[in-house]
Structure 1
Amino acid sequence: MTAAPPSPAGTGDATSHAVVAGVVSGLVGFTSSFAVVLAGLHAVGADASQATSGLTVLALAMGLGCVIFSLRTRMPITLAWSTPGAALLAASAAPAGGWPAAVGTFVVTGLLLALLALVRPLARLVAAIPDELAAAMLAGVLLVLCVAPFRALADDPAVIAPVILAWAAGLVLLRRWAVPIALAVALVVMLVEGSLAGLGPGDLMPVLDATAPILDPGALVAIAIPLVVVTTTSQNVPGIAVLRSFGYAPDPRPPLVYAGLASAATAPLGGHGINLAAISAALAAGPEAGPDPGRRWLAGVSCGVTYLTCGVLTPLVVAVASGAPAGLLETIAGLALLGTLAAAAASAFGPAGHREAAALTFVVAASGVTIAGIGGAFWGLVAGGALLVALRLRAHREAPRT
């Protein structure tokens, strides 16, 4: 583990900068994507209580991880739930075994992610999947979710238009806060419509709903394998890269093992998976966390405390979301994922040599096709990978021999 960058002199307000940046990182991370997580859990069979439980344990597990590893390493180590994984779930069909089968896939996913951190051959196997195909699979899954706001706009413009306009204004004026601003406007719309009138003290009570997992082979192939791929390629690898870009080089194995084992442990309570933070990690590790790199570990701690606080308040968050007008929650989720869709598409269709294979992966994943009970995300990888192998074999045969 490489030490944190040295602290410069004259950093009187470094602590306050770091603490505030960590709070912002936690709030942005939670509010910008909790709707995606709820949508994903509901899509694979969770009822309201089970989804609330899942959101709660995810927030608590990632908050605890942020605090532990930031204190231990004196670096701004932040964790997050797998937003790309939740998006994949939201575009999936509920497995034949229902919610218990989905819980079984979450357990297996967490164990596989922990193994990937420990066993180098397994990590190399996942790394062998071209980044362009993994990005194309993610983009195909996200496309379905990102068109939802505009379909909802056509159905109920009075409710949806103010949210989209607020998001667009936030993107121009306060980019990082665009989704929280849209969420705030959505709350105002709900207040005007009276959707929050039914909230009461009972909505503050903690909810933990345990489900015994079952192992369904079809669900494991359709859900667990794509979850491992997107979590590794879209979260863990970029998360390590973000830290290194700011001069931090921790041993990634301990937080990755924690994330995998915590995912498996919280799965019976509804957690679909946690991982290293990627985009929000920059808030805690970069200059916005203060001029003193040696004090930015405090941002990791305050981010974790913020997640823990949000976890305690999760029942209220879910109660508010449950009262939302039709299409409103899907609008927040779709807007939150547009940036991720753009990044995934840019990565997928950049290199010309992989473009056709990436396009095939994208359209199959976006099609929502289900074959033998296995969803389009997996078949997209299979189709794109097969085409890429065929193209490479042809290129090898046609290459001039010396």
Structure 2
Amino acid sequence: MTRAFPPAASWTSALIAAVIGFGGTVALIVQAMRALGASVEQTGSSITALCLGIAVVGALLSLRLRMPIVLAWSTPGAALLAAGVPGTSWSDAVGAFIISGLMMVLLGAIPALGRLAEKIPASVASGMLAGILLPFCLALFQVANADPLLTGVVVGVFLIARLRLPLYALLLVLVAVAALTLLRGQVSALPDGAVFGVLAPVVPSLSLARVMSIAVPLFLVTLMAQNLPGLVVLRSSGYDPGASPLLIGTGLATAVLAPFGAHAVNLAAITAALCTSDQAHPDRARRWVVGMLYAGCYLLLALFAPLLVRFFLALPHDVIAALAGVSVIPALIGSLETALAQKGEQDAAIVTFLAAGSGLTLFGLGGAFWGLIAGVLAIMAKSLLQRKGATGS
């Protein structure tokens, strides 16, 4: 007999996945939007739009495919945006978000583009991602110049939690830092703004420089660090939906919601494992309902997104920097491992890593773009020299 309601484990798995995914990285999203010049209202709109995209598109995909499709926002993409490109306006950023989303749609719709994307060396793509993330991790320790206790608490709780409760590490750090900040009385009055979900559209503007310095790197890090690992999680759990509907669905969600500030809606990876495992639902054929429950959690988060954003904006700058820094450490570890794993490509990976993390800006194009170019050129030069050497011998 089929159960009318999902088991308690399904509700718990969905709730925990949503809380971890939202609470562990929302500080970085807030920092990214503010770095691009978004107002308090526009930042609230960004979080609201992202949560709506995760909820609505995730529920539709789960229902249609009968699989637990768990979506998230792009944390590495937010790190890229928070690094900033001088001269970028909020309308420029929104235009770049739209282009990035459309690129994901094209990738899913045209198989030849998918094969072309697979030719990008993983060492170079991961080196670019690692370079994007590095400044945020360094900022965590730079905070110690003014507040060593804060850095000590963040690092201590993170390391202990990674040993004992790795999945909850970032959430536990957030709780510890919030408690420390409240005990110190460092929370300012909440800035004026809405309490419930709000969408504030902006007319996008497009420029080639912003497409190259924001849209292309955002597309690549979202693909490499979010969508591809998310597909691996699904396949390891016995599901094979095919990449096309997922890339098209998330790309369309990004493009449609970008005018409201959504930078990237994509597949979740780590939190998705909570909703796709046997523990989430004993019946794999019925496990798609966990994806629906997860989507419902994000609908609630969308409802109160502006209030949550205002709370984070009331925190001291050092607290936000510390939370943003610790939230990307796991991604930095993974990207460095991948970047240096391929023998013979370590030099190209390191060049990419250093250029992307340097803060270099030339011709209006940021370090992520130049890092990618440097890495690809290094790979091409090595291949050319090897072929010449083989011919000469």
The TM-score bracket by the shorter chain reads over 0.9
What CA distance in whole angstroms lies between the structure 2 residues aligned with 1:317 and 1:51?
Answer: 11
Structure 1 match to 2:198: 207
TM-superposition CA deviations, 1:297-330 (whole Å, max 9, x none): 1221111111111111111211111111221111
Structure 2 match to 1:6: none
Structure 2 match to 1:140: 131
The answer to whether the 8 Å contact 2:102/2:255 transfers is yes
Match for 1:376 among 367, 370, 377? 367
Structure 2 residue 271 is the aligned partner of structure 1 residue 267: no
Structure 2 match to 1:252: 243
The answer to whether the 8 Å contact 2:187/2:316 transfers is no
State the identity %: 36
What CA distance in whole angstroms lies between the structure 2 residues aligned with 1:113 and 1:56?
Answer: 21
Change beyond 3 A, Cα 1:187–1:353: same
What CA distance in whole angstroms lies between the structure 1 residues aligned with 2:252 and 2:4?
Answer: 39
What CA distance in whole angstroms lies between the structure 1 residues aligned with 2:154 and 2:380?
Answer: 44
Change beyond 3 A, Cα 1:240–1:210: same
Structure 2 match to 1:33: 25
TM-superposition CA deviations, 1:119-175 (whole Å, max 9, x none): 122222222211110000000110111111111122112444333322233222211
The answer to whether the 8 Å contact 1:20/1:299 transfers is no
Structure 2 match to 1:4: none
Change beyond 3 A, Cα 1:388–1:305: same
1:159-308 to structure 2, matched below 5 A, reads 159-196=150-187, 198-199=189-190, 204-308=195-299
Structure 2 residue 34 is the aligned partner of structure 1 residue 42: yes
Unaligned runs of 5+ in 1: 1-8
What CA distance in whole angstroms lies between the structure 2 residues aligned with 1:186 and 1:212?
Answer: 37
Structure 2 residue 84 is the aligned partner of structure 1 residue 92: yes
TM-superposition CA deviations, 1:244-301 (whole Å, max 9, x none): 0111011332232121111111111111011111221111112331433223212211
What CA distance in whole angstroms lies between the structure 2 residues aligned with 1:50 and 1:362?
Answer: 32
Change beyond 3 A, Cα 1:220–1:179: same
Change beyond 3 A, Cα 1:196–1:207: farther
Name the SS for the 1:353 alignment partner.
Answer: coil
Which has the higher mean CA deviation after the structures are superposed, 374-383 or 45-54? 45-54
Change beyond 3 A, Cα 1:203–1:194: farther
Structure 1 match to 2:141: 150
Structure 2 match to 1:3: none
What CA distance in whole angstroms lies between the structure 1 residues aligned with 2:6 and 2:41?
Answer: 41
Change beyond 3 A, Cα 1:36–1:380: same
Structure 1 match to 2:8: 16
Name the SS for the 1:271 alignment partner.
Answer: coil
TM-superposition CA deviations, 1:11-37 (whole Å, max 9, x none): 999722222111111111111111121
The answer to whether the 8 Å contact 2:193/2:310 transfers is no
> So what's the TM-score if we normalise by structure 1?
0.92
Structure 1 match to 2:330: 339
Name the SS for the 1:147 alignment partner.
Answer: helix
Change beyond 3 A, Cα 1:354–1:141: same
Deviation for aligned residue 1:201: 9.8
The answer to whether the 8 Å contact 2:154/2:326 transfers is no
What CA distance in whole angstroms lies between the structure 2 residues aligned with 1:159 and 1:129?
Answer: 39
Structure 2 match to 1:69: 61
Aligned structure 1 segments of 4 or more residues deviating by more than 6 angstroms:
9-14
Structure 2 match to 1:115: 106
The answer to whether the 8 Å contact 1:65/1:78 transfers is no
1:230 counterpart letter in structure 2: V
What CA distance in whole angstroms lies between the structure 2 residues aligned with 1:79 and 1:127?
Answer: 22
TM-superposition CA deviations, 1:205-232 (whole Å, max 9, x none): 3332221000011111100111111111
Unaligned runs of 5+ in 2: none
Deviation for aligned residue 1:367: 0.5
Match for 2:389 among 373, 393, 398? 398
Which has the higher mean CA deviation after the structures are superposed, 45-54 or 135-144? 45-54
2:62 counterpart letter in structure 1: S
Which has the higher mean CA deviation after the structures are superposed, 263-272 or 118-127? 118-127
Structure 2 residue 338 is the aligned partner of structure 1 residue 319: no
1:399 counterpart letter in structure 2: A
